[in-house]
Chains A and B, each alone.
Chain A
Amino acid sequence: MGQDHDVVEVLVIGAGMSSGAFTWSLTKAGFGVMCLEQGNWPTPSEYPVTDDDWELHIYSDYHLDPNVRSQPEDYPINTENSPITPLMYNAVGGSAIHWGAHFPRMRPSDFRVKTLDSVADDWPINYFDLEPYFDLNDKMTGVAGLHGNPAYPPMSPRQMPPLPIGKQGSKLVEGFEKLGWHWWPAESAINSTHYDGRPPCTNGGPCITGCYNGAKSTADLTYWPKALQNGAVLHTNSRVSHITTKPSGKVDGVVYFDTSGEVHHQRANVVVIAANGVGTPRILLNSASASHPNGLANSSGLLGKNLMFHPVAATVGVFEDDLEGYKGALACAITSYEHVETDRSRGFVRGYQLQSNRQLGPLNTALGGPLERAIPWGSKHHSSFTDRFNHIIPIAALGEDLPELQNEVILDKTLTDSDGIPAPKVNYSISKNSETMMTHAVARCTDVLEAAGATQVLVNQQMQGAGWHLLGTARMGIDPATSVVNQHGKTHDVDNLYIIDGSVFVTAGAVNPTSTIQAIALYIAEQMKRNARNL
């Protein structure tokens, strides 16, 4: 490794969830790591959850969509060709500042869909390869949950007991029990007791505007303080425009802008990208050079392709009872894996997860919440509001999106961010398989809500604001012709360039991905340590 103090050993782009885990692991083993993050450190005292007008912020400066939020650290995304809007947050801790912290692992069959179901591709690694890293990540994160879920192989003990499921959860359980379906209390990256210096959740919600109390686990609270103690160097307000290459084709550093717009070149022996499934292909496509004309690490032509989101069908059951929907963590109560494995008689392959949600506040209820349609105005307005507020159970059916070449992230021809860096454009359409799957999911959610006693079930079969999970745009594989990185996260084309975020997913599974993203980041860090001599 180079001794030049101007050259860092490992440079990581982005300080979100994957980066936090990875940087902690490498610095613990004594590696020198510098991280460049375009956003700031989040300031929990500024999260709007402690303000009376907290709900207004969800529609303005804390909007989940960066195009609407439009803060200085955000970059625009052209979404005109996508029925699902990609969502993200740009800060230390990454998109998790807004996340629901539902923390299931991907399941064993998710890594072997070609072998089991003759679709897409198998991963070059499997659930059991990742298991030690899932366990380590759970310990670092703190998971509230319950051992013994029959939808998974036996797992290590959870760190804390499950979060309360509340009246909504208990009601929904009645439906699952009547139908004899699988359900389980959510795996939650939210403290139910004191853990690792952070307090238990006070059941206030709403989680997606940032957690003031710090009960919700995010990398700025878990991994980053420990990584900094290990000696990691983290520069915020530093936006990477592109990665630079030597004539040999290896990378030798990155070019970035600081807040004043000044350009810097930071040299590095190894570059690691952790900018998420949209940000990562954007940087690599913008790093095209004579030796890499189609973008860096893109000899396969697959960089930016196979974007997967997880299509979401939202159903909302309306009940006569007051279910106190304002109490509790927004996205962590009941999960069902009844329909997650392939059953070809349903007319589609793979499956979907059911995740019960809470309601947000009165404003979100009036604007329709996951239904994305406001409640009626006019003479029926008040009765519609009263029928719904505290009387609903929303369920999100989250489907396994299959990788498809036409779903992609490319560079927009004209749109740029405030530093003039080309913005990404997303071209995406819902596949026939996903559409059939979501129709099935809506019918089954209706079944369970009615079994639980719903008097009415409202449906939004294709949620637009559901682009929470950004996956697949630099897929992992053994064959350089059909993948961007190898089974160790190293790009096939460039020996000293790695990708560690959700871009490397070969397939998407039907669960929220971050537990798996972070386990992969820890796994790649371990491979790098083992191969340190060859870096």
Chain B
Amino acid sequence: MTNPQKALKTSFLSRDQQKLLSTVIDVIIPASNGSPSASDADVATHVESSLSTSSATRNLLTSGLQAIEVTSGRAYRKSLADLTYEQRESLLSKIESALPEFFNVLIQQTYSGYYTNSNVLRSKGIHVGAPQPEGFQMEPFQESLLERVRSSGTKYRT
């Protein structure tokens, strides 16, 4: 999970850029049926800190965010934040086709932050916690299922 201490140190976006990032990731994962939106699940911090590791990834994010605002201004003469959800969605579809590398990384990091957040998992009724060491109970295999296959003759050549 994102360590807030670490995230603070690795923050490189301006306040405006951070706000825009939150708006963008809430188009990607909006709130629904008791599940938080991406920004409510602190995913903006995760995205920013995961992309803070090199100048290439930092530039990818900042230039992608800039492209979103430029495209929004051209298409609607408005900032993304002032558009309806449908308009935001259609605008991001354009960005997805125009800047596939940026968009793939953004999706990857948004989903990574979201689906490892315990509040999100709880809201979806998903088992929270590590798969080991406890694990899960399962029924043993029932050999009777194999009756037909066993009597169907050999299936190999030598």
Chain A residues near B (Cβ < 8 Å)? 47, 49-56, 59, 107-109, 112, 116, 127, 146, 148, 150-153, 161-166, 170, 173, 177, 180, 182-185, 201-206, 211-213, 324, 326-328, 337-338, 341, 361-363, 365-367, 374, 377-379, 381-382, 385-386, 389
Q: Is the interface of A mostly helix, strand, loop or mixed?
A: loop
B16 at the interface (CB under 8 A from A): no
Chain B residue nearest to A181 in the complex (CB): B149
The residue in A162, A203, A211 that gathers the most chain B C-beta atoms within 10 A of its C-beta is A203
In whole angstroms, what is the CA distance A151 to B158 when docked? 11
Beyond A52-B128, A205-B131, 5 additional pairs, beta carbon < 8 A: A165-B141, A185-B141, A204-B133, A366-B111, A381-B30
Residue interface bits B129-155, CB-to-A below 8 A is 1, else 0 = 111111111111101011011101111
B124 at the interface (CB under 8 A from A): yes
B55 at the interface (CB under 8 A from A): no
A341, B157: Cβ atoms closer than 8 Å: yes
Our pick among A163, A204, A337 for the contact of B134 (Cβ within 8 Å) is A204
By a CB distance below 8 angstroms, the chain A residues around B137 are 203
Residue interface bits B105-142, CB-to-A below 8 A is 1, else 0 = 00110111011101001001011111111111111110
A selection of 30 A-B contacts at a CB cut-off of 8 Å is: A52-B130, A53-B1, A59-B112, A146-B146, A150-B152, A151-B155, A153-B158, A161-B141, A165-B141, A177-B148, A180-B148, A182-B155, A201-B135, A204-B130, A204-B131, A204-B133, A212-B132, A213-B132, A337-B155, A341-B156, A362-B126, A366-B115, A374-B107, A377-B29, A377-B107, A378-B89, A379-B30, A379-B85, A382-B35, A385-B124
A202, B134: Cβ atoms closer than 8 Å: yes
B108, A378: Cβ atoms closer than 8 Å: no
Chain B residue nearest to A324 in the complex (CB): B136
In whole angstroms, what is the CA distance A289 to B137 when docked? 58
| Nearest-Cβ distance from residue B54 to partner chain A, whole angstroms | 12
Chain A residue nearest to B93 in the complex (CB): A378
CB neighbors of A among B64-80 (8 A): none
By a CB distance below 8 angstroms, the chain A residues around B158 are 108-109, 112, 127, 153
A50 in contact with B130 given A108-B158, A341-B157 (CB within 8 Å): yes
In whole angstroms, what is the CA distance A199 to B90 when docked? 53
Residue interface bits B27-70, CB-to-A below 8 A is 1, else 0 = 11110110100000000000000000000000000000000000
B131, A150: Cβ atoms closer than 8 Å: no
By a CB distance below 8 angstroms, the chain B residues around A389 are 124, 126
By a CB distance below 8 angstroms, the chain A residues around B27 are 377-378
In whole angstroms, what is the CA distance A291 to B148 when docked? 61
B134, A59: Cβ atoms closer than 8 Å: no
Chain A residue nearest to B148 in the complex (CB): A177
In whole angstroms, what is the CA distance A162 to B145 when docked? 13
A50, B141: Cβ atoms closer than 8 Å: no
In whole angstroms, what is the CA distance A164 to B89 when docked? 44
A49, B157: Cβ atoms closer than 8 Å: no
Chain B residue nearest to A328 in the complex (CB): B138
In whole angstroms, what is the CA distance A162 to B115 when docked? 32
B20 at the interface (CB under 8 A from A): no
Chain B residue nearest to A211 in the complex (CB): B132
B149, A202: Cβ atoms closer than 8 Å: no
In whole angstroms, what is the CA distance A182 to B148 when docked? 9
A53, B116: Cβ atoms closer than 8 Å: yes
In whole angstroms, what is the CA distance A53 to B129 when docked? 8
B129, A109: Cβ atoms closer than 8 Å: no
A202, B136: Cβ atoms closer than 8 Å: yes
Chain A residue nearest to B106 in the complex (CB): A377
By a CB distance below 8 angstroms, the chain B residues around A59 are 108, 112
Our pick among B111, B112, B133, B155 for the contact of A150 (Cβ within 8 Å) is B155
B154, A164: Cβ atoms closer than 8 Å: no
| Nearest-Cβ distance from residue A101 to partner chain B, whole angstroms | 15
Our pick among A116, A150, A177, A367 for the contact of B108 (Cβ within 8 Å) is A367
A107, B136: Cβ atoms closer than 8 Å: no
Identify the 5 closest CB pairs spanning chains A and B, nearest first. A202-B135, A204-B135, A204-B131, A164-B138, A363-B115
Tell me how many residues of B have a C-beta within 8 Å of chain A.
51
In whole angstroms, what is the CA distance A112 to B85 when docked? 62
By a CB distance below 8 angstroms, the chain A residues around B21 are none
A166, B138: Cβ atoms closer than 8 Å: yes
By a CB distance below 8 angstroms, the chain B residues around A327 are 136, 138
In whole angstroms, what is the CA distance A55 to B158 when docked? 43
By a CB distance below 8 angstroms, the chain B residues around A324 are 136
Our pick among A49, A165, A182 for the contact of B149 (Cβ within 8 Å) is A182
In whole angstroms, what is the CA distance A389 to B152 when docked? 35
By a CB distance below 8 angstroms, the chain A residues around B92 are 377-378
Our pick among A182, A362, A379 for the contact of B121 (Cβ within 8 Å) is A362
A52 in contact with B89 given A203-B138, A204-B132, A327-B136 (CB within 8 Å): no
In whole angstroms, what is the CA distance A363 to B152 when docked? 41
By a CB distance below 8 angstroms, the chain B residues around A385 are 124
B154, A378: Cβ atoms closer than 8 Å: no
A108 in contact with B156 given A379-B30, A382-B32 (CB within 8 Å): yes
Our pick among B28, B35, B154 for the contact of A377 (Cβ within 8 Å) is B28
A362 in contact with B155 given A374-B108, A377-B107 (CB within 8 Å): no
Our pick among A108, A170, A184, A374 for the contact of B111 (Cβ within 8 Å) is A374
In whole angstroms, what is the CA distance A398 to B132 when docked? 28
| Nearest-Cβ distance from residue B52 to partner chain A, whole angstroms | 14
| Nearest-Cβ distance from residue A125 to partner chain B, whole angstroms | 14
A150 in contact with B149 given A49-B130, A204-B134, A374-B111 (CB within 8 Å): yes
A151, B135: Cβ atoms closer than 8 Å: no
Our pick among B131, B143, B152 for the contact of A206 (Cβ within 8 Å) is B131
By a CB distance below 8 angstroms, the chain B residues around A379 are 30, 85, 89
| Nearest-Cβ distance from residue A492 to partner chain B, whole angstroms | 28
In whole angstroms, what is the CA distance A76 to B115 when docked? 30
Our pick among B128, B131, B140 for the contact of A49 (Cβ within 8 Å) is B131
By a CB distance below 8 angstroms, the chain B residues around A161 are 140-141
In whole angstroms, what is the CA distance A338 to B156 when docked? 10
In whole angstroms, what is the CA distance A55 to B112 when docked? 8
In whole angstroms, what is the CA distance A362 to B111 when docked? 9
In whole angstroms, what is the CA distance A379 to B26 when docked? 10
Chain B residue nearest to A127 in the complex (CB): B158
Our pick among A107, A162, A170, A381 for the contact of B29 (Cβ within 8 Å) is A381
| Nearest-Cβ distance from residue B79 to partner chain A, whole angstroms | 19
